[in-house]
Structure 1
Amino acid sequence: MERGAKPKAKIEARPPAARKSRKGDGSTSRQLERRLTEALEQQAATSGILHAISRSPTDLDSVFRMILENATRLCGASVATLWLFDGELLRSVAHQNASPEFAEYLARARIRPSRETTTRRAALERKTIHVADLLSDPDYAPPEFQRKEKVRTVLSVPLLGQDTLVGVVTLWRREVRPFTDRQVALVETFADQAVIAIENVRLFTELQARNRDLTIALDQQTATSEILQVISASPSDVQPVLDAVAKRAARLCEAPFARLLLVDGDVLRGMAEYSLDGMSQPRTSPLPLKRTSINGRAVLDRATIHHDDVVPLLDSEYPDAPNARRLGLRAVLAVPLIREGNAYGSIFLWRREPGLFSSDQVTLVETFARQVAIAIDNVRLFRATKEALEQQTATSELLKVIGRSAFDLRPVFETLAENAVRLCAAERGLIFRFDGQLLHLAVGHNVSAKLREFFERNPIAPGRGSNAGRAAVERRTIHNQDVLSDPEYSYGGHKVDPYRTVLAVPMLRGTELLGVIVIYRHEVRPFTDNQIALIETFADQAVIAIQNVRLFKELETRNRDLTEALEQQTATS
């Protein structure tokens, strides 16, 4: 018997039948009562299983036990087993009324889909297998344990999720007594409920893991923010720290002038300075980050440079210090800003007369350098933390929308697109759904009517001519830094809206393509790794939302079908 929808019974009006004897009426009444009782018991069982699924979203064992207990009781089976498929082998995960020897066998059994037993054949053929007498059927070669267990009538029903084998549920009797059509249909319903429970657990576990990761990250970053606030009074701007250090270094080290320089690519740029006499020093051009300049050597060597008189060394050691003679530098002190091996710049002090700075002064400036490095890290971490918190807030909001939108994906997609554009500093956000052949625009954020019309009239085919199509074909994130420099790019969207940098992230359930998220900018400005990771997280959440909606609709349909069946049976009785 193959799985599939069964035609509903057609009820026709008939002329009144001749009255039967009281004995006949009593027999018919008892049959109707039995059928009604059976239907009510089956309805109660399926409702109880659905309740268990909703009550214990992560506990499959109790759901499996309830399914097997109800299956054996309502179908009059001797033993029931439930197997799960891992893509290669079936393993038993639950059983009912198994003997100790059979339970021991099930605990170690790993079987492949084949034609040897009903369980294996149901897995192989992806359909219900019902054998009236296993020992009399020439197509089967039951193992020895089945003979010892006196297995005769067997029913095996596959657990199927979108034509994908999930597992098998098997019932058998020790006498030759075939299962009724109603009993077969009931076990098939139980199999569908087992699939829903398995998928529910998977989705819930994924969602729980994602929430746990986000909570851990938020806790860590909140703690980091608190520590950074203690370390520095200026967590979001390093400039006040630079200014304060320059002033204190000059005063406490009795240097007429102090300057702080920060690394900017292959140069050092002056970011703060202080003069004891109040006279500002002439601004110098960015200094080359080379060992042939005083501050360049301090940064590259990650070592303090201290000379009592630098003049004799200018030609041989520091030819790239052209302002030294003009400014009258003699004693110099350059201390690198180092933290965890990273050199961010230097503190530079000088005097117009020869003579070393004292060791205490050198130590003080080195302490200042460490504090500045901490402040720089503080600002960078603060900004990164702020960005991460904004991203986490966005993902949390998206999760809330998913929770509220059990049957409607549009609010989820609209929230996703809006947050993607805002947090990634993009001009537009687009979400495409895949229908098996083409990508169709589902939602667009900050999209003009003209652009929306273009996308709707020009659905995207998987291929290398567009970013979304490329992401669909390659099943991976596509980061195109400039579409105008891409010889393979041929989609005409940029003629309607002049985008340059594009990020396309596929929404994947395993290898199945559900859609693509696209954001882009009008200028050539690549997205950061954090921004790419955020959109990939949004894609994962979108997949969960799509699956949730599908599961809710399947569950609603199943409940409606069961209710209709019960109403029909009640009306018939």
Structure 2
Amino acid sequence: VYGLVFLPVLLTMMDIGLSTRLWYTGLDAGAYAGGYVPLSEYTAGSLGRLIRMLNFYGMPAVTIIPLLYIALRDKKATLLTRRLAWLLLGTQIAGMSIQMGLRGLLGPATRVLFMGIVFVLAYAYAAFQQMISERRLQRGRLQTRLTALILVITVPILVAVVAFVSTRAEALIEQAAIQQQEAELLGALRQFQLVSWAVLAIGVAMLLALAWLTIRQAFRPIGRLTETATAITAGDLTRTAPVESEDEIGGLARAFNSMTEQLRDLISSLEQRVAERTRDLSASEKRFRDIAESTADWIWEVDAAGRYTYCSESVANVLSYTPEEILGKTPFEFMPPDEAARVGEVFAQIAANKQPIVDLENRNLTKDGREVVLLTNGVPILDSEGKLLGYRGVDKNITERKLAEEEIERRGEELEALREISLAVTAQLELDEVLQSVVERGCRLLDVRAGSVYLVDEKRGDLELVISYGYTKDYTGTRLAPGEGIAGKVLQSGAPLAVDDYCHWEGRAPDWGAESLTAVLGVPLKRGGQVVGVLDFAEMAQARSFDEHDVWLATLFANQAAVAIENARLFEAEQRRLQMTSTLQEVARILSSTLDLENVLDTILEQLGRVVAYDSAAIFLLSDGILKVVAGRGFPDVEQVIGLTLSVEEEALFRQICREKRPLVLADAQKDERFLKAGGTNYVRGWIGAPLIAQGETIGILTVDNRQPNAYDEEIAQTVFLFASQAAMALENARLYETEAHRRQEAETLRLAAQALTATLDLQQVLESILTQLQQVVPYDSASVQILKGDHLEIIGGHGFPNLDELLGISFPVDGDNPNRR
């Protein structure tokens, strides 16, 4: 746009200097006939019409539309740019209005030159403001840039003025041509034009020189001020700027000198503060090094590549390396490979984000190969541009804390496992299942291969192995005396006992020689402070040592196991009681199903086997202080026992039972002098005697025999006593029934006998009827009828004798040799 505005001026200068005839054609009058150029052709160069059309039509099209867009729609334009756009737009509209208004007063050339001057001034101002805004004027020497700017503004104006004067002179000459000759007028015109252009050239040269000298003189203090600033920048704070005037430049010099003095004071103060700060930093560094060397934590610093650049002496306490052995290496070189890979990924992510290292746990290897756990904390080291230079931090040895945490976690897991095991064990109520579960779960808890459970035999006072697990054979039934083997010693002391090498332990039990036992641990099973059993845990064929923690854990488990075993025992006892109650009810039903004494006796001995295990048993019935064996089972010679009679008063055992009316238990009958070894009972060891009580009276005694000593206890004796009570009721009922039946039989026999006696008068028939009816009342093998004659008895009839005919008629004195008395 500025080029279009400046185009007429440029073409005018070309026409003057080069005779191009692009705009002015009247500059060379010799090219026309008579040396006279008509005024209409004076500005009718080859581009005259085009220039006028461009100025009138092209300028608006080129300038108005873009200027409107910049002023109204361009969001990227600055506020200054929009203001300049409105200025140029107003100038354009004003110029077009002026051209239209002066169309009748001024010629085309005059209007073009006038508009050129207006546009040159407006666009030169806009360009200058834009150059200042974009700091373009700061490139190059200032005085040269100002001189060029003055020339750009003034030269077009001067050229326009000369052209305008020449044009007006031409019009005057044309009017005077009527009165003067043409040659004279043309000569005067040429002379005037030459003088005008010469004045223009001299004016421009003088203007250029004056501008140059003025600007140079104005900018000389600024140059000196610049030299002073350069010297001060180089470090010479003694330089001052000369004050040569009282104008703005002088004020600037004084302000600059004041600033220099303040700068000297500030630098002096800064140097003093830097010195003090240096001393403080030295003291702080000393304190830091003292702390770094005295603390147990390892203080370090690494570069951006992760290599140690600083390392405190404490590293010797952490990794057993000297600082010299650490420097230049990376932390990953002191870690196991898997840990180095893990921590490397974490550190790479942290470093990429320039984040601090917060509580990063990592495993490291010491110089002697031990593994330690470090807790790393660090902060990034950044330069002024935020570039990562490295990290500075501290490593704390938390190995003991981690071991403690792991121990706490392990104990928590063990306690949780113990709780689950306890719940699982106590949920079972079958004693055998509980014992088996106790051993298996205990072995898993302590991570051993084998285990066993011993229970105290209260009758014998020793231990019996009831569950064997993990051994090469089943040791169930093995017995240990107090003090024998580990279990025996635990029973004796009531405290846990651990042996690391059982095979070479002097107190080992001989029954375990076939097992390659190494470490064995025994813990007591206690109930109410009393040892009721022992839990054994054993490792086989590999080294193992039970430490205090293992003993503690096994003891806790044993306490839970003891509760579970006791619960199972109580449940089993209750089950036995319920079963016994059911059995006794069934036995009572069976015993009451018959009233025949012989059947009742057999049923009692048969049903007794459902209540208690025995090798032999006998039923004694009491009559007039005499006990008689009426039934027996399991004896070597039952016939030898049946019918055996004993006097209650003469036998202490039976006397005590009858008097106290409660059962009596013998642990070993052969060792009790009160026991009667009759009827081949030398084999009897365990023995129970229970009274048969009916309607509050003892009617007999039930005895139960066993070949094993300590086979019976008070609990079993009470069970037998309950059974004996049911048996006594059945016996009493059978005896009552038998007595009643016997009485009925006797009455019937007497009735039949009386009927037979009155039915015939034949003596032999009467005698036969009497003996037959007697057989119904009193069973016999042989019987006779004797009649009293005086003081003699005579046999008159008989039955069952092989020589009855020889006996008939025999008589014998009543008081003499009488066979009835034999």
The TM-score by the shorter chain falls in which range?
Answer: 0.3 to 0.5
Higher relative contact order (CA 8 A, sep 6+): 1
TM-score, normalised by the number of residues in structure 1: 0.40
Larger gyration radius, structure 1 or structure 2:
2
TM-score, normalised by the number of residues in structure 2: 0.30
